[in-house]
Chains A and B, each alone.
Chain A
Amino acid sequence: MSSCHSHAASRQRLSGAAEPSNGAEAPDRPRYIALVGNPNAGKTTVFNALTGMRQKVANYPGVTIEKKEGRCRTSSGRQVILLDLPGTYSLESRSPDEDIVRDVLLGLQEETPRPDMVVVIVDSSNLERNLYLVTQVAELGLPVIIALNMLDLAESYGREVNVNLLHQRLGMPVVPLVARKGRGVDKLRQYLDDYPRDVEWRIPLPAAIQTEKESLAAGLSQSLGVDLHLADALALRMLSNEELAKKVERRWGHNWQPRVAAARRRLADEGVALSSDEPTTRYHWITDLCEDVMSVPSHEVKTLTERVDRVLTHRFFGPLIFLALMAFVFQSIYTWAQLPMALVESGVTHLGRFVSAVLPEGPLASLLVDGVIAGVGAVVVFLPQILFLFLFLAVLDDSGYLARAAFIMDKLMSSVGLHGRSFIPLMSSFACAIPGIMATRTIDNRRDRLLTILLAPLMSCSARLPVYTLMIAAFIPNTRVWGFFRLPGLALLSMYLLGILMATAVGWLFRQTLFPGKPAPFLMELPPYRSPALRNVAITMWEQGWQFLSRAGTIILSISIVLWFLASYPHYRPKPGESPAAVAGAQIRHSYAGRLGRLIEPVVQPLGFDWKIGIGLVGSFAAREVLISTLSTVYNVGNADESSVTLREALRRERRPDGRPVYTPLVAVCLMVYFVLAFQCVSTLAVVKRETNSWGWPLFMMGYLTTLAYVVTFALYQVGKAMGWG
């Protein structure tokens, strides 16, 4: 391309401006290219098609938002880096995700250079709304390419887009694309090789805004030394969002707040509302443009989606189908995932036996078998559930059903202050909070997502079931209640209900305190149904599985090793003639974990627990069901499971120093209640750390759940004792 040089020169000015301190020069061909677009425009599909598996996921500093970059080869064989920015409808941001898009494109984001070029993914079946973002991005002073995606879908609606005319009117390259089928992707690669012509047009805003914007931009451009286009865009965004002035100050050290505030006041005095004038002006421009470039059918086309929706969001059948689907998903993670999980567990056991057989007995073998191998097992065992859940989530999301599920459930969830999208993560948490918390990624609003994460552990997961089973079998009499119910069944049901009830109450409390203010508006696109793209589904599963292993897995493994150490040291010297079960029992009572149990005894005594149960609580921090094996070791019954009669007998026989039984029905119920509420799972800790990208939230979660569990169990035991229930 002959015009390449002059554009390269203008690029240098631009990025020199974005990094005034080091004066980095823009490359003469684009090297760092951002993908932006509305949610659902096909950005992920385009990104995957261009980069394949060569992707790297990190976090933006200080926030939970993922930063996805990938390497991509252009037609000439050059390698460029693509940055997949979060989906957004506008550069006027209202959430941390949208902040990122705006800040990166303006060069304000720390640790992310300003891109050399932007590719806007446009859904051509939804042209008007998608062009809104285009008009904003066009004003940034960056070279822009339009990837006009979903042309097949637009065609099926009978909407025809005149690509050439669109290109002429926008003054940007427009690449026709059907990303899902890979059509047009090679063409897009060609365009990644060179800068297109600069965008010259601007949508004329009302005169008062224009004046304020220009005077602010002149000042910005002068004092920051930035390009006038960028200054213009900065000025407009600062006028509409005062917060941005603070960011500019932090980044470039100039305080613009007084000037911005004064300009906003002048506009307000004149009765100009930028917040409605900007969108109105842009949409008028877009409406005119679309009248020319798009032909719509004269009569309404009844789309397949509308016909399918008649059934799937039908007043009566909609909820039924939804429930059936959820039952299926739940069944898969609750039951079907058990088979691969059992395989993982027996694999770990076999590997452990093998290692113990070849290594001489001693600390090294013990570390490897009971620490490392068991720890790796504790991590890998979650994979089947995660993969199953994300298989369904990806299929449901990609097909467009997830939005309908949220549509159906929203009213119910909003009555407890949540969001339609919170339902599936919470439901999945009944199987296991780990995939459930990972599934909160489908919630785009940050507050709703955090709240859902905080409540997820209150849903009784499958790891708690063995604890309930053991306690109920040992201490809850199998009597009839009200004719046809049985007490054990009722007790089990109440444990699940208690969790839900507490989640409702805590959710309400957090809405009042942690996340005050009005709930975010629930404005959700209902995309057309499509058959899910297998490639997207596979990549999602792979990504989730791998990230869990690499990020949460390391934390889980380290804590497992620490817990192994606590239970194995100091070493107990067996007396001659002691049985293996007795040795194991003496070992754990003697160990640091045992001492910890004794140490916390005064704390757990008001809950009805003694120091041996205390050891169980310490041990079950690795995973709740570990309580069973810890207790069986502590009570010298070797390695028993929850249905073991010997263990049940041992519990019933256990006496306090004064001869009273340790376990009464009241203590059993207290222990169950404690397990409903307490935070007893390092894996959850690790996953919350990873999902929120901070230690603050997981620690807060641990604190609030432990307090809640303590207070409720304390009250229950004390009241129960006073009432003489045992």
Chain B
Amino acid sequence: MPLTTLDRCCPGVEGNITHLSGEPSLVRRLMELGFVPGTRVFVVKLAPLGDPLQVVVRGYHLSLRRLEAQSITLEVNEVTNE
């Protein structure tokens, strides 16, 4: 299965987190919000101007900018086309 960072995922993409990288304090905050390796993430949509993204993680909706999404690497499972 292909590995990619979250900021490059289109709406409808779902995957499992393999690892996080980047600035430790950002990584920590992302992890505290539930983005730990193994967790499933689903990309819901992009904001009208293309940034930030809306994702579902651990059953809730979160918005994050592409810049931050870059820290999260996923193994893509499936792409549901809506």
Chain A proximity of B58: nearest CB distance (Å):
4
Q: Are B27 and A526 in contact (CB under 8 A)?
A: no
Q: Are B64 and A522 in contact (CB under 8 A)?
A: yes
Q: Are B34 and A410 in contact (CB under 8 A)?
A: no
Q: Once bound together, how far apart are the Cα atoms of A687 and B24, in whole Å?
A: 37
41-58 of chain B: CB within 8 A of chain A: 44-45, 47-52, 54, 58
Chain A proximity of B56: nearest CB distance (Å):
9
Q: Are B32 and A132 in contact (CB under 8 A)?
A: yes
Closest to A518 in B: B23
Chain A hits for B59, CB < 8 A: 125-128, 157, 159, 296
Chain A hits for B64, CB < 8 A: 521-524
Q: Are B48 and A316 in contact (CB under 8 A)?
A: yes
Chain A proximity of B48: nearest CB distance (Å):
5
Chain A hits for B23, CB < 8 A: 518
Bin chain A's interface residue count. 35 or more
Q: Are B48 and A89 in contact (CB under 8 A)?
A: no
Chain B proximity of A300: nearest CB distance (Å):
9
Q: Are B20 and A314 in contact (CB under 8 A)?
A: no
- The 8 A CB mask of A694-708 against B (1 = contact, 0 = none) is 000000000000000
Cβ 8 A contact of A128, one of B24, B51, B58? B58
- The 8 A CB mask of A374-416 against B (1 = contact, 0 = none) is 0000000000000000000000000000010011101110100
Q: Are B25 and A526 in contact (CB under 8 A)?
A: no
Chain B proximity of A442: nearest CB distance (Å):
15
Could you tell me the dominant secondary structure of chain B's interface residues? mixed
Q: Are B31 and A408 in contact (CB under 8 A)?
A: no
13-29 of chain B: CB within 8 A of chain A: 20, 23-29
A412-B49, A523-B33 given as contacts; is B58 within 8 A of A129 (CB)? yes
Q: Once bound together, how far apart are the Cα atoms of A166 and B26, in whole Å?
A: 31
Q: Are B33 and A89 in contact (CB under 8 A)?
A: yes
Chain A proximity of B49: nearest CB distance (Å):
4
Q: Are B65 and A279 in contact (CB under 8 A)?
A: no
B62 within 8 A of A: yes
Q: Once bound together, how far apart are the Cα atoms of A527 and B37, in whole Å?
A: 24
Chain B proximity of A567: nearest CB distance (Å):
50
A280-B36, A407-B54 given as contacts; is B62 within 8 A of A525 (CB)? yes
Chain B hits for A319, CB < 8 A: 48
Q: Are A280 and B37 in contact (CB under 8 A)?
A: yes
Q: Are B47 and A280 in contact (CB under 8 A)?
A: no
Q: Are A318 and B48 in contact (CB under 8 A)?
A: yes
Q: How many residues of B contact A (CB 8 A)?
A: 35
Q: Are B32 and A315 in contact (CB under 8 A)?
A: no
Cβ 8 A contact of B36, one of A283, A518, A522, A527? A283
Closest to A128 in B: B58
B63 within 8 A of A: yes
Q: Are A89 and B52 in contact (CB under 8 A)?
A: no
A208 within 8 A of B: no
B8 within 8 A of A: no
Q: Are A279 and B31 in contact (CB under 8 A)?
A: yes
A276 within 8 A of B: yes
Chain B proximity of A60: nearest CB distance (Å):
23
Q: Are A411 and B31 in contact (CB under 8 A)?
A: no
Q: Once bound together, how far apart are the Cα atoms of A655 and B47, in whole Å?
A: 58
A275 within 8 A of B: yes
**Chain B CB within 10 A, most for which of A90, A279, A518:** A279
Could you tell me the dominant secondary structure of chain A's interface residues? helix
Q: Are B28 and A526 in contact (CB under 8 A)?
A: no
A523-B64, A524-B62, A526-B54 given as contacts; is B31 within 8 A of A283 (CB)? yes
Cβ 8 A contact of A276, one of B27, B54, B58? B27
Q: Once bound together, how far apart are the Cα atoms of A363 and B67, in whole Å?
A: 64
A94-B25, A276-B27, A318-B48 given as contacts; is B60 within 8 A of A410 (CB)? no
Q: Once bound together, how far apart are the Cα atoms of A280 and B63, in whole Å?
A: 21
Chain A proximity of B65: nearest CB distance (Å):
5
Chain B hits for A283, CB < 8 A: 31, 34, 36, 39
A544 within 8 A of B: no
- The 8 A CB mask of A99-115 against B (1 = contact, 0 = none) is 00000000000000000
Chain B hits for A356, CB < 8 A: none
Chain A proximity of B73: nearest CB distance (Å):
13
A92 within 8 A of B: yes
Q: Are A522 and B58 in contact (CB under 8 A)?
A: no
A51 within 8 A of B: no
Chain A hits for B52, CB < 8 A: 407, 410-411, 522
Q: Once bound together, how far apart are the Cα atoms of A527 and B62, in whole Å?
A: 8
A275-B27, A279-B28 given as contacts; is B51 within 8 A of A523 (CB)? no
**Chain A CB within 10 A, most for which of B44, B54, B63:** B63
Q: Are B27 and A129 in contact (CB under 8 A)?
A: no
Chain B hits for A284, CB < 8 A: 36
Q: Once bound together, how far apart are the Cα atoms of A280 and B30, in whole Å?
A: 11
Cβ 8 A contact of B60, one of A129, A279, A406, A412? A129
Q: Once bound together, how far apart are the Cα atoms of A283 and B61, in whole Å?
A: 18
Q: Are B26 and A314 in contact (CB under 8 A)?
A: no
Q: Are A522 and B32 in contact (CB under 8 A)?
A: no
Cβ 8 A contact of B28, one of A276, A309, A318, A414? A276
Q: Are A407 and B24 in contact (CB under 8 A)?
A: no
Q: Are B24 and A275 in contact (CB under 8 A)?
A: yes
Chain A proximity of B38: nearest CB distance (Å):
8
Closest to A314 in B: B48
Q: Are B60 and A275 in contact (CB under 8 A)?
A: no
Chain A proximity of B46: nearest CB distance (Å):
8
Chain B proximity of A674: nearest CB distance (Å):
35
Q: Once bound together, how far apart are the Cα atoms of A90 and B61, in whole Å?
A: 18
Chain A hits for B20, CB < 8 A: 276
**Chain B CB within 10 A, most for which of A125, A296, A526:** A526
A89-B32, A522-B68, A523-B68 given as contacts; is B47 within 8 A of A407 (CB)? yes
**Chain B CB within 10 A, most for which of A90, A315, A411:** A411
Measured CB to CB, the residues of A under 8 A from B are: 89-90, 92, 94, 125-129, 132, 157, 159, 273, 275-276, 279-280, 283-284, 296, 305-306, 309, 313-316, 318-319, 403, 406-408, 410-412, 414, 518, 521-528
New A-B pairs, 14, CB < 8 Å, besides A523-B29, A524-B63: A92-B28, A157-B59, A276-B24, A279-B32, A280-B37, A296-B59, A309-B44, A316-B48, A407-B52, A408-B47, A411-B50, A521-B64, A521-B65, A522-B52
Rank and list the top 5 A-B pairs by shortest CB-CB distance, nearest first.
A279-B31, A411-B49, A526-B61, A275-B28, A90-B32
28 chain-A/chain-B pairs, Cβ below 8 angstroms: A89-B32, A94-B25, A94-B29, A126-B59, A275-B24, A275-B28, A276-B24, A276-B28, A283-B31, A283-B34, A284-B36, A305-B61, A316-B48, A319-B48, A403-B63, A408-B49, A410-B49, A410-B51, A411-B51, A412-B49, A521-B26, A521-B64, A521-B65, A522-B63, A523-B68, A525-B63, A526-B63, A528-B61
Measured CB to CB, the residues of B under 8 A from A are: 20, 23-34, 36-37, 39, 44-45, 47-52, 54, 58-65, 67-68
